[in-house]
A and B are shown apart, each in its own frame.
Chain A
Amino acid sequence: MADDDLAGEIVRVAGPLVVARGLPAPKMYDLVRVGAQGLMGEVIELRAEDASIQVYEETGGLGPGDPVYTTGGALSVELGPGLLESIYDGVQRPLNLLREMEGNFITRGTDMPALSRERDWEFVPVVKEGDEVQPGDLLGTIQETPVIEHRVLLPPGVKPGRVQSIRSGALKITDVVAVVGDGEAATEVTLLQRWPVRRARPFKHKYAPTDPLTTGQRVIDTFFPVAKGGTACIPGPFGSGKTVVQHQIAKWADADVILFVGCGERGNEMTEVLLEFPQLTDPYSGHPLMKRTVLIANTSNMPVAAREASVYTGLTIAEYYRDMGYNVALQADSTSRWAEALREIGARLEEMPGEEGYPAYLGSRLASFYERAGLVSCLGSKECSGSVTVVGSVSPPGGDLSEPVTQATLRVVKVFWGLEDRLAFMRHFPAINWLVSYSMYLAQVSKKWDEIIDPSFKELRTEAMTLLQREAELEEIVRLIGVEALSAGERLTMEGARSIREDFLHQNAFDEIDTYSSLKKQFLLLRCVITFHREAEKALEAGAEIDDVLASPLRERLADAKFIPEDRLEDFDKLDQAAVKAMEDLVPREERGAVSNL
């Protein structure tokens, strides 16, 4: 560190921003070490001989004259086996090891490699000496956790060539696992790779996403689905349920790997994940959820510049697993805090602010962030696809969606889950407003339903949506004139919509059974709700009394239907039949024949 040839000198300190003079050959986004403690920082602006640096740790105690050292490299993450089950801060320092070293509070200047240098990994080669390989080709595998096979690929940028040597058995990540290419062009490949966080990892092609990412959340999967490789946002005021939705997706989505980036949010929310995920069982693999999860925790009280970097750290790790052919889902909570970090640094740079003080490049940064999502065909000679799905929460000030971050986000993402505080106050969760939310993947995804669930699913959804829209219109009338203005049929419509809301859309994340619904169960539950409504309509037409329909004990059974466990889905058929029967029984005897003649 003390090599003064590589040093410049601080001339200004303003919060997380430090200006250094005389740094030898500084480049944009170079990683530097600041002050005697060697705090990590990144060059974000160059003016004549001055370099502006955002520092990833607290800057208290720094002053003019303190040294700044170049490292010659860009801010990068370490990639390799051992990422899963880890928890990192925004610049990939392992928080568990940091605690071991420095105690319960995060102090400054501690450096720690992200991946263990000591641990042995059992490497099973799949190529042999003499095989031709190119970047993206599989060299061998490591069982990283019981659920994820870590596929060791020839890294991007390495020259294609012949495998000179390949090892097998127990290896440490810094060991050379293969040598590829001849003579001058020979490259030693280690399990450990590095990648600059701000550069998207390469792939062959990008495709439009088509397959649903099933999250187990009914309002999402049935009404506003997101596709594997797609993008979604969840804006909503505080307390409306953004974090719970993202935790639910992280728990129950049918992705292979989960990245959860806690970006400027609460410490306890990360603790919750840390404590819960090892205890919860992944419904797809049967193993603890933590075995497929990587956590990035740069909470609100941690340094703001590292918060800015945290989403890129997460994305790069996500892309790394994507390149192995996995479906990865990344949750960023909250993108607004990331945008505020940009704003804070921008202000210290004395940039000309755009709307609400955000830098003018807010929109383009957000767009390029979401652009790193996608369904791609991976590098390599074999056909292989992987995806990164990105879900970002947005925290609009005062819940006002006209603010810049929400608006810039809506321009790029394809799914909008609009959370509403009015629903949260009623404890209707998830508080996703069904009238304003949308998914631009619906058409593709619902085509898949035909294959994997049932051809009538789409129709049920449409019918449910129509009822909900009709309810909104009728509510308007009730507000103006009162409920007696409604016909019996209209009252039934209102009740049908209520049933969709309460018996289908409402889903308690904290109930052991209700927390997750398979797509099949979602279909069956919705079919029950709609069947009851259709039958009730028929009965009414055939002369049944509306009050009798509403008093039917079947409605209570419908309310309990969401608690039918996944291994008893046949109960739904019984419930369907009971609904038909119950409504038929309400039709006056003399009319019954007429109905069956219809």
Chain B
Amino acid sequence: MAIRDYMTVRDIVGPLLLVRQVEGAKYGELVEVEFPDGTVGFGNVLEVSEDRVLIQSFEGTRGLDIGSTRVRFRGRGLELAVSRDMLGRVFDGLGRPIDDGPEIIPDERLDVNGNPINPYARDYPSDFIQTGISAIDGLNPLVRGQKLPIFSGAGLPHSELAAQIARQSSVLGREEEFAVVFAAMGITFEDADFFVQEFRSAASIERSVLFMNLADDPAVERISTPRVALTAAEYLAFELGMHVLVILTDMTYYCEALREVSAARKEVPGRRGYPGYLYTDLATLYERAGRIIGEKGSITQIPILSMPEDDKTHPIPDLTGYITEGQIILSRDLHRKGVYPPIDVLPSLSRLKEKGIGEGRTREDHSNLSNQLFSAYARGKEAKELAVILGEAALTEEDKLFAAFSGEFEDRFIRQGEQENRTIEDTLALGWELLKMLPRGALKRVRQEQIQKYMK
């Protein structure tokens, strides 16, 4: 379709432009917005009706005016030029190179919105990834092709944890080509630089693709950033056959950008001002993780989000948890106690663990052991809370043991070093070791034979 220029902007509201007397505009079409100073930004079509078009400008609208702003319709959606040469490169939030490297000579240009994976084409994720972190591997294990977010809060070490996972992850007994796709959305330079340095020092920078939309970059642009990043990931995984780990941080800023656009459109808000379609929108990102039958590669996603006021019921973590295959929740309490990683294991969950662990994958006792650790820790924590109010004397003898267990569990099982990489055998052995503190009759989640075999 021909490129068409218009100077008929009528309204400018927040990040939105309303353009009149446009012909042939299409829903979702990419547009160029030319600022009066000659710079050119991008945007896309949110709504078309007869001759009026509503556009969201990724670069914002500062400096635009009604008379001289020029809008150019590009006749296609936002695309990303992909090629193997993306590896080792740094791009902005729309996929334009911002390091000093050359332009990417595209192998293909792909629509950043992608297409849904046919559920019939999916292969169930079942390869256990050893992250070397006991609270994850032992209790909430990650598998290849999973989407497992980290729910965090301001000041908690989610970046450190994500970096440790990226650094230590390995699939038992396999050497395969892998890559990391990193998308920063609205985080500070410092936070982003932490990851860049991390990838450098782990010498994995040449296997990484970085997309950067930082705090001072245009907010609306970050609506495209995860889409651009996931398009790159899909290319690496399903065309080049790599195992791709995608880190998306911080989803909260992404959602806030969506909310900003929604508010400017005067849409009926859902909970806490977020648009009613937030669930659907997030799903179109998170569901881009997975494995496909007959394809070598995979996409594993670790989105990071900070929970406003540490509130898990806030729409962003809430809707995320409804879509992702579990969640790793960080606890401010544990962090205050100096426990790293401060993973709140009870509300954390890995929905794919059943297929990823057990005989032939990790070990036959893994599932029961983890259930036992969960329920013992839950009981111990409850007992401890009671003891805080009423004193130790208010507990039964058995509950006292559970209370003591929960303390040791936090201190020895959950806590570990940022550079400490535990094998799954170490993690399981540690679990059994701790269970020795409890009366055997109270261990109802493990089988008697397993106690005999593993509790040394």
Contact = CB atoms under 8 A, between A and B. Distances in A.
Given A96-B120, A357-B276, A238 B322 contact: yes
Contacts of A61: 26-29, 77
A13 B346 contact: no
Nearest to B284: A301
| Residue with the greatest number of chain A CB neighbours at <10 A, chosen from B120, B280, B319, B393 | B120
Interface stretch (A165-173, A476-484, A520-528, A571-579): A476-484
B352 interface: yes
A480 to B, nearest CB: 8
A300 B118 contact: no
A596 to B, nearest CB: 29
Nearest to A334: B322
Given A300-B323, A397-B313, A482-B395, A340 B279 contact: yes
B274 to A, nearest CB: 10
Contacts of A99: 118, 120-121
A105 B279 CA distance: 21
A58 B390 CA distance: 60
Interface stretch (A62-70, A71-79, A116-124, A365-373): A62-70
Nearest to B392: A482
A14 B26 CA distance: 10
Interface string A371-415: 000000000000000000000000101111000000000000000
A61 B45 CA distance: 10
Interface in A46-69: 58-65
Contacts of A239: 321, 326-327, 347, 349, 351
B26 A297 contact: no
Interface stretch (A196-204, A266-274, A464-472): A266-274
Interface string B312-350: 011100110111011100000000000000000011010
Interface in A85-115: 87, 95-96, 98-99, 103-107
Contacts of B346: 425-426
A159 interface: no
A536 interface: no
Contacts of B125: 268
A502 B376 CA distance: 13
Given A266-B287, A357-B270, A104 B118 contact: yes
Given A104-B121, A397-B315, A238 B321 contact: yes
Given A344-B277, A426-B346, A64 B118 contact: no
Interface stretch (B47-55, B152-160, B165-173, B202-210): B47-55
B441 interface: yes
B116 to A, nearest CB: 5
A128 interface: no
A555 B441 contact: yes
Nearest to A18: B27
A265 B445 CA distance: 30
A12 B315 contact: no
B3 interface: no
B25 interface: yes
A268 B276 contact: no
Interface string A17-30: 00100000000000
B8 interface: no
Contacts of B326: 239
B375 A106 contact: no
A227 B27 CA distance: 48
Contacts of B267: 347
B2 interface: no
A579 to B, nearest CB: 16
Contacts of A11: 49-50
Interface in A105-152: 105-107
Contacts of B27: 13-15, 59-63
Contact of B122 (A13, A264, A268): A268
B120 A301 contact: no
A343 B347 CA distance: 30
Given A65-B24, A239-B327, A427 B120 contact: no
Contacts of A107: 115
A246 interface: no
Interface string B29-65: 1000000000000000011111100000000000000
A440 to B, nearest CB: 28
A421 interface: yes
A95 B120 contact: yes
Given A98-B118, A267-B290, A425 B378 contact: yes
Contact of A478 (B270, B284, B386): B386
A12 B50 contact: yes
Contacts of B441: 551, 553, 555-556
Contact of A105 (B116, B371, B399): B116
A337 interface: yes
Contacts of A447: none
Nearest to B123: A271
A353 B379 contact: no
A169 B105 CA distance: 61
Assign chain A's interface to a size class: 35 or more
B417 interface: no
Contacts of B395: 482-483
Nearest to B382: A426
Interface string A288-323: 000000000101111010000000000000000000
A357 B271 CA distance: 9
A569 interface: no
Contacts of A481: 390, 394
Contacts of B67: none
Given A426-B375, A427-B374, A64 B48 contact: yes
Contacts of B416: none
Contact of B386 (A62, A427, A479): A479
A299 B50 contact: no
| Residue with the greatest number of chain B CB neighbours at <10 A, chosen from A424, A427, A478, A484 | A427
Interface in B254-291: 267-271, 276-277, 279-280, 283-284, 287-288, 290
B432 interface: no
B77 A104 contact: no
A194 to B, nearest CB: 24
Contacts of B46: 14
Interface in A489-545: 502-503, 508, 510
Contacts of A343: 270, 276
B268 A98 contact: no
Nearest to A347: B268
A553 B123 CA distance: 45
B115 A344 contact: no
A538 to B, nearest CB: 22
A482 B313 contact: no
Contacts of B191: none
A238 B323 CA distance: 9
A285 B453 CA distance: 38
13 contacts: A13-B26, A58-B113, A61-B27, A105-B118, A239-B327, A264-B280, A268-B124, A299-B283, A343-B276, A397-B318, A482-B394, A553-B441, A556-B441
Query: Lowest 7 CB-CB distances: which A-B pairs, in order?
Result: A482-B394, A398-B313, A300-B283, A60-B28, A12-B49, A301-B287, A105-B115
Interface of B: 23-29, 46-51, 77, 113-125, 145, 238, 267-271, 276-277, 279-280, 283-284, 287-288, 290, 292-293, 295, 313-315, 318-319, 321-323, 325-327, 346-347, 349, 351-352, 354-355, 367, 371, 374-375, 378-379, 386, 389-391, 393-396, 399, 441, 444-445, 448
Interface of A: 11-15, 19, 58-65, 87, 95-96, 98-99, 103-107, 237-239, 262, 264, 266-268, 270-272, 274-275, 297, 299-302, 304, 337, 340, 343-344, 347, 353, 356-357, 395, 397-400, 421, 424-428, 478-479, 481-484, 502-503, 508, 510, 551, 553, 555-556, 559-560
Given A104-B117, A426-B378, 12 more contacts: A64-B24, A239-B347, A267-B122, A270-B119, A274-B120, A301-B288, A340-B279, A398-B318, A400-B313, A426-B374, A556-B448, A560-B448
